[in-house]
Structure formats: structure tokens, C-alpha cells
Structure 1
Amino acid sequence: MALKPADSCRLKVRVQPKASRNQVDGFEDGTLRLRVTAPPTEGQANAGVIALLAKTLGVSKSRLEIVRGHGSRDKVVLVETLTAQEVRRRIEARLRG
């Protein structure tokens, strides 16, 4: 995607693949830390990241796209239809329980 619409944001994510459970750990230095059970092979961990973020944010998986870091633990995810403030609010609300 060349342009970032006004109602979207880019989310920095650090992923721990092959974790014991799928979990959002919270923000650390502006980066969201995630754990996914999927291994980092054949895009399985990337699919796990998209599924976990979609569930956490309450959006469909089609509204999320990994735009950088497909083969890395450090990724950038484009979140369509939500501003950065709304993404942070939803994640923090989910972490509070």
C-alpha cells in the first residue's frame, strides 16, 4: 500500500513465536509485544499475529496487513479503519481485562 489513509495506523510489533500460548504482553518502548504459539515457518507465525491482533482489536483479519518484517520478529502491521489512539485504547482495555 502506497498511501496510509487517515483512519489507519502502523503498529510496531515484536513477536515471540512458538510460545506456550497466544498472548498480548503490552507496549514496551512504543512496540507491542506479542506471543504466538505458531512456529516461524511458512508464514504460520505471521498468520498467528494477524489472528491475535484481529481478536484483540475487534476487527476482521482483512483489516490488518504485515507491511514490514515478514521474516523477522520485528514487524510493522497496518491497521485499517482505526487510528493509533483507538488501537492503543483497545489494546490497553483488553490488557486490563
Structure 2
Amino acid sequence: MTEEVKLEVVGTAVLLPVQAQPRSSKNQIDGIHDGRLKVCVTQIPEKGKANKALLKVIHEGLKLKRSQIELYKGEATSLKIFRITEISLDELQSQIAKSIK
């Protein structure tokens, strides 16, 4: 069985748990780790630079509009939760599966 991201629906949004990997050699979605989407960014975790880079990688990698994504929890930690709107749980799960193949 392949590991899945543990998504949670809250109201009209889906919460996406992310394991952030700052100071990486590439900006990319790097699979699933402990039920979280692992996202690597080259930025250092200072003054929100890594968080901005994470948003960009997620929105491009999952083919979402930038307006659909916001950092919900985890401003200063590597374990983050992003709030995704205007998408169903199944659609998001499908986009995640496509992004890590």
C-alpha cells in the first residue's frame, strides 16, 4: 500500500499537512513522509522566505491557484499545515498523487 497524505476537511477547506525541508538543493515536492507532503525549498527559514517558497512550490506542484492556499499553522516550524480552498478532498488527493510520480 502506498502512503497517503492525511488530509482533513474543515468547513469548505482541506487542511494539507506539510513536512518542510528548507536549505534543500531543489524546490520540489519530494514524496510523502509520515502522512505529510514533503516539500523541499532552497530558501533558508528566515523572515518567512522559506514559507513563501513553500507556497510557490505547492501551488505550482499541485496545479492550484495561489489564492487557494494559505499557511494555516506552523509559521516557525518544519511541520506546517496549509489551508486549501475551492477543491474537494478527492481532487486534492489526486493532485498530490500526480505530483509525486
TM-score bucket of the superposed structures, by smaller chain: 0.7 to 0.9
* TM-score using structure 1 length: 0.87
Query: Which structure's relative contact order is higher, taking Cα pairs within 8 Å and 6+ residues apart?
Result: 1
Correspondence for 1:71: 76
Correspondence for 2:22: 17
Give aligned pairs, total: 92
Give the ranges of 4+ consecutive aligned residues of structure 1 lying more than 4 Å apart after TM superposition. none
TM-fit CA distance, 1:84: 2.3
Task: Tell me how large the CA RMSD over aligned residues is.
Answer: 1.3
Larger proportion of helix: 1
Correspondence for 1:47: 52
In structure 1, C-alpha distance between the alignment counterparts of 2:95 and 2:76, rounded to whole Å:
27
Q: What percent identity do the matched residue pairs reach?
A: 27
TM-fit CA distance, 1:23: 1.1
TM-fit CA distance, 1:82: 1.3
Q: Which runs of 5+ in 2 are unaligned?
A: 1-9
In structure 2, C-alpha distance between the alignment counterparts of 1:68 and 1:21, rounded to whole Å:
24
CA contact (8 A) 2:28 2:61 kept: no
* TM-score using structure 2 length: 0.84
Which amino acid in 2 is paired with 1:77? F
